[in-house]
Chains A and B, each alone.
Chain A
């Protein structure tokens, strides 16, 4: 695959682990690409309490694609002088399409629901999220992952920020390993966040977030 096509493909089909709700009026483009899934989530936050947006999730191995509307709700935020914690409920409704055997141009109602929480200060980061996805006879899966991160240096506002992260992902129903462990590097500057890593099984993760 040519590099340009690969870039466009990754840019279109992905999602990242940044916060699913922005400030009032904020628009966020989140993407994630791992060994199994590619996601795109574009959301708009009318208030700090929730966001609504478009969600595309493509399973490249089982060859199905979910397209729907996603709603993210900030259940609780705890602000401290040097830290912040968040609790989110994420849900989506739409349809999943598959043209892979035994399906032939098969489309079913689909959706998912999940819970996410994170805590961070300027030095340390930790998060947990889970998700149950239902696409009738095409696919059903549960996934959860936890992350730990540390910033090797604390930059000023506007500097390039770097995080060293460690992700453990558990996906019982998929064909790949149930538990994937991935060290990651996250780079963050201005409104751009990019992170990438290679799992112990050799799968590449590439995520990006742009906040407008």
Chain B
């Protein structure tokens, strides 16, 4: 019984950890946080801002050079799928490490 209990506890925390990597709490709903490699200067940030701002689905983009992250906030009911986000970042000259979808309210 004890083994079953420990197994269930282990599974619970494993599933929780896995879920956190897919859907995380964000400052704003309907947004994604993207970990990006290669962002080292303002020109890099500006390039990503310009590329994403041209998309009608995007309401706002915040670039965090310190942590190598971009936060993309979408307009109501709009979004970009992961493959397109990856393509836009890659075409701008940078590498996507991870895309974190935010929990929707």
Please list the residues of chain A having a beta carbon within 8 angstroms of any beta carbon in chain B: 18-19, 22-26, 47-48, 74, 77, 79-84, 120-122, 154, 156-158, 161, 188-191, 211
Contact = CB atoms under 8 A, between A and B. Distances in A.
Contact of A80 (B37, B45, B63, B66): B37
B45 A157 contact: yes
B38 A157 contact: no
Contacts of A211: 43, 46
A157 B42 CA distance: 6
B6 interface: no
23 contacts: A22-B47, A23-B47, A23-B50, A23-B51, A24-B51, A77-B38, A79-B37, A79-B38, A79-B93, A79-B95, A81-B97, A83-B38, A84-B38, A120-B40, A120-B41, A122-B65, A154-B66, A157-B63, A188-B41, A188-B42, A190-B42, A191-B43, A211-B46
B95 A157 contact: no
A121 B47 CA distance: 17
B92 A24 contact: yes
Contacts of A19: 43
Contacts, number: 66
- The interface residues of chain A, by DSSP majority, are classed as loop
Interface residues of B, number: 24
A156 B66 CA distance: 8
Contact of A122 (B40, B43, B64, B91): B40
Contacts of B47: 22-23, 26
Contacts of A24: 51, 91-92
Contacts of B94: 79
Given A47-B91, A48-B93, A80 B38 contact: yes
Contacts of A191: 43, 46
A156 B46 CA distance: 13
